Structure 1
Amino acid sequence: MAASSVAALSLLLVLPLNSTLFLQSPCLSDNFYGHYKLADSTVGIFKVSTPECIEDSQTRFSVSQATTLVNPPIGSSLLWLEQEAVDDALLQTEPFTPSSFYDSVLGLESTGANGQSVLHLGDNEQRILFSSEQAILVAMRPQAALEVDTILPRFWRSTLLPESPSTYRVVSDDAVEPVRRVLETLRFNPDIASVVNNISLPQIRQDIRFLTGEDGESGILSRHSFTTGALTAAAWIKKNIEESGANCRLELFLEGFAPNVICRYSATKETNDTIIISGHYDSRGSFGSARAPGGDDDGSGTTGILSIARTIGRKKILFHKNVELVTFAGEEQGLLGSRAYARELRAQNASVILMIQADMTAYRRAQEPLQLGLPERIGTPEVTQLIANVSALYSPELRVGYSGACCSDHQSFWEQGFPASQVFERAGPIVDPMYHNSGDLSDREGFDFNQLYAIAKVQFASVLHTAGFEFAAED
């Protein structure tokens, strides 16, 4: 299995998000390891390897702003662990401390049911480089780092730092200009309303039961990125989206992981511009359980993408710009599938003018209205505004607001300078009691198909307004 090894680092800096200062310093902008959540703030991690760069960083950031970390063990992988934005009442049901995590990693040996995964961390060499109540940076042996999500408390998430640093980027004015033009001219379009209202709610119910294994026929026990269930899901997603007229491929990004499913509808006009909408089809279950149905996280976003594809085929839609429907794997291990694809597109100098990720769109707490949550921090403001405005036109039943729940696969594209944002189920923190739990099924209290449907309409309408479209002539 490919390792994300970190070698020959001098120092690591954990710095509060400040794009202006990051871009002004080549020492930082050329040695970027990503954005990470720290409590209610966002930080960047950078490598500094020369005395000049160390001095430059000290000049730009005060001691109180910067956290300086020592060189991790050679050959290890770096893993950022963070507490998610979860409702306080839910968080108190499973308290967690860094020391308890450290002890569990040292002593754990677990074998997954049906031979789907094997985890042995008893001989793990590791080192905690940074620790707070809500975040940890740890150096681990590469194999353990890839599997640590299976032992994390469910309200914590892990992100594997890249094998090598990249260039720090922001979404430029030129990159966001196409979205601004759509915002300026956005009006209700009855043809778009007719298309998005054609999404089939019964089909959504059927699709999600296949992905969770609730239908009793798919045989899917788990869609964890290392399982055969994930491979079954990937092949099934590819087949169904291909039937709508897209060209699809399964793209591997790390040895041992299920692939990304990348489907493309080529433009009818001459253009390099591409719009991407996505979800992640991998899942995470309860500690010690082989079952990971992932109904809400993120069967909801994935079936939303499938419902859009089926409607494209049924309505015989042709796009004026290229449109990609993507379902990622490796999200639960730290956005690994989307990171690989976003980097690939950046290396190609691709023109991605809009990216919208759907992650967890179906859970609704009792007595709360249907909602649409938008990212507070990580994302392009113009894209977020476009989503909000489109929602008012085509799904006015949704109460729109901001959520601190962060971050899904849109972050990978945003970090590469592509305009990107996310749609989520709630204007506020996570409240789903089955979050990262083996009980995350669709047949349960709070799983709201109407909310999933309404949010899928918003994602689809955003594509239709941005890409432009026509209906194919009848045979």
Structure 2
Amino acid sequence: MAARFTAVLAAAWFASAAVGAAPASNKVWITIGDSAYAQLQKLAPQTIARSSHADGQDKVHLVQVDEEQMKQLSEAIHTELKRCGGFMAHDSEEAGRAALKPQVDAKMASLLARPNYTIDQQSVIPPLLSQMQASNVGQTILDLSAHTNRYYNTNIGVTASNWLKQKWTTLANGRSDISVTQFTHNAYPQKSVIATINGTDNGSEVVVLGGHLDSIVGGGVGESTRAPGADDDASGIASLTEAFRVLASSGYKPRRTIKFIGYAAEEVGLRGSQEIAQYHKNNNINVVGVMQLDMTNYKGSANDIYIYTDYTDAQQNTFLANLATTYLPTLKIAYDKCGYGCSDHASWTAQGFWASLPFEAGFNQDNPYIHTVNDTYANTGNQADHALKFSRLALAYAVELGSDGPGTPPGPDRTETFSGKLTQGQSAKFGPFKAGAGTFKASTTGTGDADLFVRKGTPPTTSTYDCKSDGGTAAESCSISVAANGDVHVLVYGYSASSYNLTVTYKPQ
């Protein structure tokens, strides 16, 4: 996770120099939260923010720093603030200024119609959830953390990206509607990995689920440096991989396009996800939702899933909580904050997209071993039960959002039945039935002679109706066309003493 301590992020820059890949200049543009900036001013009073912006959650500053200042700042955040810091690294001052004031321009806003958060895939999701296995999640964690490191600037980091591409390609099982590609970042060798399940009739709208594939340890990373990153963030990638496996093997075909992304270079300022989110915005790709899984396998708190509320979207966060209530009712959901730039969701939020971060624990109770050689599968108990919870939430999120779109097919017809007895001249009234566009059908069976009347808007009488069926028995039938949502009423009239069974069928609103 990027914001564990800014100290680790600073160390990443020193490490890049150690492997011969340092930037041409020792100066780096960063955007940084207010409390961390105050520590920087104590350490280096001459370092003044080039620009600042209050975003409603924190005051964020654009600063150019050198590597030594970053190191001192990191230590101050750790010792003085005793919390995680966070920043976003930028290739230029211009890029930093753009990140400082995220906004949705008019052209992008016209594309971003918020999705319908109605939960209506109860017939689809539970059978898929039953196919998910913690052992699969655990094996992926083991396989990823077996790489010496997955640092963005090492050859082994490149190998880890290639491994993930092959893993997802194998899981796609040759489906023609699934592709697995790598996203090239020009500034460093590690590539991001993207598995895409193409949407059917609403493929221009995109659902994104991501985690970061890189790893880091404090003090610098070279080719031989051990940085297993089992929880940070092999666990998030593994949780996503199990969701992808089940969707691919089940034959599920979404209406919207679904992308699973393993981001490069998260640990050095969210660099991979920033570039990918910017690409989607620049190309007017209509991303309707983003979920980030960064650390999922260390249960350090009493509750199961913590939804982080800063630099995320409140409405989508509520949707996630509702998904858990519906499909994972035994889990306990809580809320917390992680500060500025703590993981890749912040990159999407900065571009105006709706993003959420469900996390493994309360922020100060997360895995104490991350960014060290001890971030191993063994230190999460050699099991992935906690991470499986996030796999299941991710699958529910993907299917609920992925199954919707313009012109969503209506649900099944609703059928209601009634029965009773009538004396001669007696009537029974039913409704209003809240009918949607379609055909409203009513029919009766029974004994004696009962007549049937149907009317839209107001109750029918034996002389005022839209449809009448008055044969010589109790077997009657009426159908009317309903052009738009409205009320429909039914009357059963006893032409003689009779018993009846009434059935009405219609499209509900």
Q: Distance in 2 between matches of 1:4 and 1:393?
A: 52
User: Which residue matches 1:262?
Assistant: 194
Q: Distance in 1 between matches of 2:395 and 2:60?
A: 42
Q: Does 1:226 align with 2:153?
A: yes
Compute the displacement of 1:385 (Å). 1.1
Asked if structure 2 preserves the Cα contact closer than 8 Å seen for 1:83 and 1:156, the reply is no
User: In the TM superposition, what are the counterparts of 1:96-175 in structure 2 within 5 Å?
Assistant: 96-97=75-76, 133-134=80-81, 159-163=88-92, 164-165=94-95, 167=98, 168-170=101-103
User: Which residue matches 2:297?
Assistant: 362
User: Which residue matches 2:135?
Assistant: 202
Q: Distance in 2 between matches of 1:72 and 1:356?
A: 31
Q: Does 1:235 align with 2:170?
A: no
Compute the displacement of 1:37 (Å). 3.2
Q: Distance in 1 between matches of 2:218 and 2:26?
A: 30
Q: Does 1:37 align with 2:16?
A: no
Cα separation, partners in 2 of 1:383 and 1:269, compared to 1, 3 Å: same
Asked if structure 1 preserves the Cα contact closer than 8 Å seen for 2:30 and 2:87, the reply is no
Q: Distance in 2 between matches of 1:296 and 1:434?
A: 9
Asked if structure 1 preserves the Cα contact closer than 8 Å seen for 2:31 and 2:89, the reply is no
User: Which residue matches 1:276?
Assistant: 208
Compute the displacement of 1:376 (Å). 2.7
- The amino acid that maps onto 1:178 is R
- The amino acid that maps onto 1:186 is I
User: Which residue matches 1:252?
Assistant: 184
What residue ranges of structure 2 are gaps of 5+ in the alignment?
1-20, 39-47, 405-509
Asked if structure 2 preserves the Cα contact closer than 8 Å seen for 1:97 and 1:133, the reply is yes
Identical-residue share of aligned pairs (%): 21
Q: Distance in 1 between matches of 2:153 and 2:370?
A: 20
Secondary structure at the aligned position of 1:97 is classed as helix
- The amino acid that maps onto 1:97 is A
Q: Does 1:457 align with 2:407?
A: no
User: Which residue matches 2:248?
Assistant: 313
User: Which residue matches 2:320?
Assistant: 387
Asked if structure 1 preserves the Cα contact closer than 8 Å seen for 2:129 and 2:395, the reply is yes
Total equivalences in the alignment:
356
Compute the displacement of 1:401 (Å). 1.4
Secondary structure at the aligned position of 2:373 is classed as coil
Asked if structure 2 preserves the Cα contact closer than 8 Å seen for 1:80 and 1:160, the reply is no
Cα separation, partners in 2 of 1:353 and 1:320, compared to 1, 3 Å: same
**Aligned mate of 1:178, from 87, 91, 114:** 114
Asked if structure 2 preserves the Cα contact closer than 8 Å seen for 1:175 and 1:418, the reply is no
- The amino acid that maps onto 1:276 is V
Cα separation, partners in 2 of 1:82 and 1:351, compared to 1, 3 Å: farther
Secondary structure at the aligned position of 1:379 is classed as coil
- The amino acid that maps onto 2:200 is T
Q: Distance in 1 between matches of 2:343 and 2:72?
A: 13
CA-atom RMSD, angstroms?
3.8
Q: Distance in 1 between matches of 2:219 and 2:72?
A: 17
Q: Distance in 1 between matches of 2:59 and 2:255?
A: 47
Asked if structure 1 preserves the Cα contact closer than 8 Å seen for 2:304 and 2:360, the reply is yes
User: Which residue matches 1:190?
Assistant: 123
Compute the displacement of 1:380 (Å). 0.9
Q: Does 1:333 align with 2:268?
A: yes
Secondary structure at the aligned position of 1:249 is classed as strand
User: Which residue matches 1:28?
Assistant: none
Secondary structure at the aligned position of 1:405 is classed as coil
Cα separation, partners in 2 of 1:376 and 1:441, compared to 1, 3 Å: same
Q: Distance in 1 between matches of 2:320 and 2:149?
A: 31
Q: Distance in 2 between matches of 1:447 and 1:35?
A: 37
Secondary structure at the aligned position of 1:255 is classed as coil
Compute the displacement of 1:295 (Å). 0.6
Bigger drift between 203-212 and 293-302 goes to 203-212
Cα separation, partners in 2 of 1:276 and 1:431, compared to 1, 3 Å: closer
Q: Distance in 1 between matches of 2:142 and 2:352?
A: 36
Q: Distance in 1 between matches of 2:398 and 2:247?
A: 11
Compute the displacement of 1:287 (Å). 2.9
Q: Distance in 1 between matches of 2:234 and 2:315?
A: 27
- The amino acid that maps onto 1:377 is D
User: In the TM superposition, what are the counterparts of 1:66-77 in structure 2 within 5 Å?
Assistant: none
Secondary structure at the aligned position of 2:190 is classed as coil
> Rg: which structure is higher?
2
Asked if structure 2 preserves the Cα contact closer than 8 Å seen for 1:405 and 1:430, the reply is no
Cα separation, partners in 2 of 1:341 and 1:266, compared to 1, 3 Å: same
